Amino acid sequence: MFTRLNGFMERRPGRLLLLVGVLILVGLGVGGSSLTKMTMGVDDYDDSQSAAVKVLDKVEKASGSDLEQGYVVLVKTDQPIDPQSAERPAVVTRAIDLLKSRHEVKAVWDYASTHNPQMVSADRKETYVVAGVGSFAPGDAVKKAVTDLQDKIDADPQLRDRVSLGGPTASNVEGSTISSEDLGKAETIGFPILLVLLLFIFRGVIAALIPLGGAICTIALALGVMGVVMTTVHLSIFALNLLFALGIGLSIDFSLLIISRYREELHRGQSPKEAVRTTLFTAGRTVFFSGLTVAAALASLLVFPQRFLYTMGVTGIATVFGALVFALLGLPALLAVLGTRINKWAPKRWQRADEGPETEGRWYRFSRGVMKRPVIAAVSAGVVLVVLGLPFFGIKFTGIDSASMPRDSHAGKVYATLERDFPGSLQSPVNLIQEAPANAGPKLAEYAAKLKQIDGVAAVAPPRQLGDGLWQTDVSLKKAPLSLDAQDTLKEIKDTPAPYPTEATGNTALFRAMQDSLGSHLPLAVVVMALTTLLILFAMTGSVVLPLKAVITNLLTLSATFGILVMVFQDGNLEGLLDFRSQGALQPTMLIILLALTLGVSTDYTVFLFSRIKEGVDHGIPNREAVATGLQKVGRITTLAAVLFCIPMGVLTLSRLVFIKQLGLGTALSVIIDATLVRALLVPSLMAMFGSANWWSPGPLRRFHSRFLGGFQESEAAPVPGARTVSAEVETAGDR
């Protein structure tokens, strides 16, 4: 593949650049037109096969309402409200009339229609109205509906300052809007910082601009792939956060590795054409397999049935595809056209910065120092990682609902007000759906009375018939619907004998169903991630020891990252600095995305490092010297790549949505931990401790690797005379 690619590149680099340009335009056209089809519904987190989700279809067929959707409208009045009267203040009547006029609204309930005095505040100056809505078509239909309703409220002088719109439907739409706004603000802040760092790290104006062009290429092609996928399945709009951050990060990583190798070959005296060829066969091959590691890790998300998660998997694969097209087609062709002009507008002092001997660099000296006392270094780094990971054992989980919205948002204000002034409100009840005959009212009323006796239950609405053979009983909880206390109360509700077949749904039950679904699919996803890591690193090294060590160190990185996230977001530390309000738990779907992303990126950097170490040992360099020179060659590159990768991911912590903050901070932390404790301390110390055993594998696997995978190493030059590869020595020793 690389031979043919290099041949085409040597003959027609300009045509290759033109081809990449056409692909970018096609990607933008296909992807841009598909953005309005992306979903932003609350069902993005559902497993369609769970009982709590299946019952929603029955309810909608019977009543027209989707229990997962809905509006909650908070109304302030000038005159006191009499909760026992059927008379309503004018502003309440006007709000109800507006809701009933909406085509998506199927039913409206207030204190007068339900005879529920708890829907009126203690000072009798506030009340809330609940509107049941039908399901929305995929795409921006839900956003248009919510935006139109909010506009009508704002345009009405009687409602403008007295009515606030909240509830699950409004909350989810507002959340997606906030996510998009915050992403734009983060890019505005992060881009200048990134540009300055690129200038210094890439050591030249032209070289610094290349990864930015790569990011445009990557994002455009990824959008195109996602547009094609959306002709078959729906994707969640929240994936755009990952697309932009990962697209920029990978483009920088791959550009830095390839441009550094190209400059290295130019410094060795090769012509631009020769340097491109060597770079493509060395760094290009490494980038190819590095991209595969990231794509394969994120592809593990495809095993989950939740749209939110498998969308992230599709987005990750599409982004890696775009980054590889740029790194293996666009960038080498660009280097072939630029030649030595890659160093134009770069100070001579910057160009000479990497021209020193490999045995005199900081990374070389540091790694040699670590390997003098490998046990102390390995134990020290391991202990730090384990201690950082200890809080992970106390992790708690919560979901995404109105409680996770910023308090300055409309939906966040409504939720906070109802929690404070309307204990036991019906904004997020447990919906009990009973299959019962038309005369089941008395028995269901008795059942409702029993439910009122449960400690965690705040109130129980009278059972109401939805249609032939279907009834609904709404149970309000004392605690937040996604809290651990609410989960315990749900269990007690389910354990209470019901006179007819009953299924629970609503936020609390749907969150429980999501947790069960995630738990049942997570083992398969982890197996896919682990096997991918093992296979790709075995293909690169021919060893079974190094891949196993990589998996273990990746797990330590993950546990340390999760432990810090627990301390920050669950325990509420740094609330003021990061500007969030702790929910006392972490969002599980974000942790699963972080698991895949961290494993992929960590293995990506591991491939960068091991490829250069393998090149050294295959040329007969002793193990410790190969480690030191390998770190010297790529230590700066991978560390700077990690710093740059942290910029687009880290700025996600500026989001007002706490679960986006968790993803941004978690990814940045994992990259920093991997670049410092793992690659600077654990890798060289463990390589020194294991010695030649690093390269061991059973005889059958050695022969398989030699026959089918031996070409995967970052070198195409012949070994030095008389030298034997480490793998050959290990194989000979094993055969003896």
CA distance 266 to 274: 9
Confidence of residue 724 (pLDDT cuts 50, 70, 90): very low
CA dihedral 118→120→124→128, nearest 10 degrees, is 160
Query: What kind and span of H or E run contains 380?
Result: helix 374-389
Buried b (16+ CB within 10 A) or exposed e, 199-236: bebbbbebbbebbbbbbbbbbbbbbbbbbebbeeebbb
Q: Is residue 728 pLDDT above 50, yes or no?
A: no
Q: Which residue, 648, 636, 675, 666, is CA-closest to 195?
A: 648
Burial class (CB in 10 A: 0-12, 13-18, 19+), 279: buried
Residue 736 — pLDDT band, cuts 50, 70, 90? very low
What pLDDT band is residue 683 in, cutting at 50, 70 and 90?
very high
Rounded-to-integer distance, Cα 18 and Cα 595, Å = 37
User: What is the C-alpha separation between 162 and 534, in angstroms, rounded?
Assistant: 60
The C-alpha atoms of residue 702 and residue 342 are separated, in whole angstroms, by 41
Report whether pLDDT(353) > 60.
no
Query: Which of 1-10, 101-110, 399-408, 590-599 comes out lowest in average pLDDT?
Result: 1-10
What does the pLDDT read at residue 533? 84
Number of other residues whose CB lies within 10 A of the CB of residue 421? 16
Of the pLDDT bands very low, low, confident and very high (cuts 50, 70, 90), residue 731 is very low
- Give the integer Cα–Cα distance in Å for 193 and 277: 33
Phi, psi dihedrals of residue 498, rounded to the nearest 5°: -110, 145
pLDDT reading at 25 higher than 60: yes
The H-assigned helical ranges of 138-204 are: 141-155, 168-202
Which tens digit of pLDDT belongs to each residue from 37-88? 888 878 889 999 999 999 999 999 888 889 888 999 999 998 899 988 888 9
pLDDT surpasses 60 at 711:
no
Smallest CA-to-CA distance from 441 within 405, 472, 400, 415 is with: 472
Which range, of 304-318, 340-354, 374-388, averages the lowest pLDDT? 340-354
Instruction: Answer for the pair 642, 672: CB distance below 8 angstroms, yes or no.
Output: yes
pLDDT at 730: 42
Token representation of residue 444: 């269901």
Q: What φ, ψ does residue 655 adopt, rounded to 5°?
A: -65, 150
* Residue 2 pLDDT: 63
**The token pair that represents 641 in the structure block:** 């790549």
Dist. CA 183–CA 660, nearest whole Å: 10
User: What residues have CB less than 8 Å from 681, skipping those under 6 apart?
Assistant: 370, 377, 378, 380, 381
CA 165, CA 149: separation in Å to the nearest integer?
9
**DSSP letter, residue 134:** -
- Look at residue 349 in the predicted model and tell me its pLDDT: 64
Residue type, 336: A
Return the ∠ at Cα 178 (arms to 215 and 221), rounded to 5°.
25
Q: Which residue do the tokens 């030095």 mark?
A: 720
Answer whether 74's CB lies under 8 Å from 534's CB: no
> By CB neighbour count within 10 A (0-12 exposed, 13-18 middle, 19+ buried), where does 79 fall?
exposed
φ and ψ of 476, to 5 deg: -85, 140
Burial of residue 118, with CB atoms counted within 10 A of its CB: 0-12 exposed, 13-18 middle, 19 or more buried: middle
Please answer whether residues 681 and 707 qualify as being in contact, where contact means their C-beta atoms are separated by less than 8 angstroms: no
Q: What are phi and psi of 118, to 5 degrees?
A: -70, -10
42 and 167 Cβ atoms separated by less than 8 Å: no
**What is the per-residue pLDDT for 504?**
95
Q: Which of 294, 253, 286 is nearest to 600 (CA)?
A: 294
Structure tokens at 466: 């939805």
The SS3 assignment for 483 reads coil
* Per-residue pLDDT tens over the stretch 300-341: 999 999 999 999 999 999 999 999 999 999 999 999 999 988
Please tell me what DSSP assigns to residue 424: T
Q: Which residues contact 420 (CB under 8 A, 6 or more apart)?
A: none
Structural contact between residues 6 and 280, judged by C-beta atoms closer than 8 angstroms: yes
- Asked whether residue 352 carries a pLDDT value surpassing 60, the answer given is no
Q: What percent of the chain has pLDDT over 90?
A: 53
Taking the C-alpha atoms of residue 243 and residue 41, their distance in angstroms, rounded to an integer, is 19
Containing H/E element for 491? helix 484-495
Picking from 343, 713, 286, 671, the residue whose alpha carbon sits closest to that of residue 541 is 713
Residue position matching structure tokens 């078959």: 232
Mean pLDDT of the residues in the chain: 88
Q: Strand (E) positions, 413-493? A: 430-435, 457-460, 464-467, 470-477
Nearest to 322 by CA among 210, 218, 245: 218
Distance CA 270, CA 76 (A): 77
Query: Which of the residue ranges 334-343, 418-427, 452-461 would you say has the lowest mean pLDDT?
Result: 418-427
Which residue(s) pair with 586 in the sheet?
397
Q: Which amino acid is at 388?
A: L
CB-side neighbour CA atoms (13 Å) of 1: 7
- State how far the Cα of 294 lies from the Cα of 499, in Å rounded to an integer: 52
Give how far Cα 484 sits from Cα of 274, 397, 513, Å. 63, 8, 14
Averaged pLDDT for residues 489-513: 94
Residue 673's SS3 state is helix
Given a cut of 90, is residue 217 above it in pLDDT?
yes
Residue closest to 210 by CA, chosen among 269, 263, 278: 263
Nearest CA to 31 out of 185, 235, 183, 211 is that of 235
pLDDT at 399 exceeding the cut of 80: yes
Q: Cα(179)–Cα(597) distance, rounded to whole angstroms? A: 20
The whole-number pLDDT of residue 245 equals: 86
pLDDT at residue 542 greater than cutoff 60: yes
Q: What is the mean pLDDT of residues 172-187?
A: 85
Categorize the per-residue pLDDT at 118 as very low, low, confident or very high, splitting at 50, 70 and 90: confident
pLDDT tens per residue across span 422-432: 876 766 789 99
Distance CA 726, CA 713 (A): 13
72: left (phi over 0), alpha (psi -120 to 50) or beta: beta
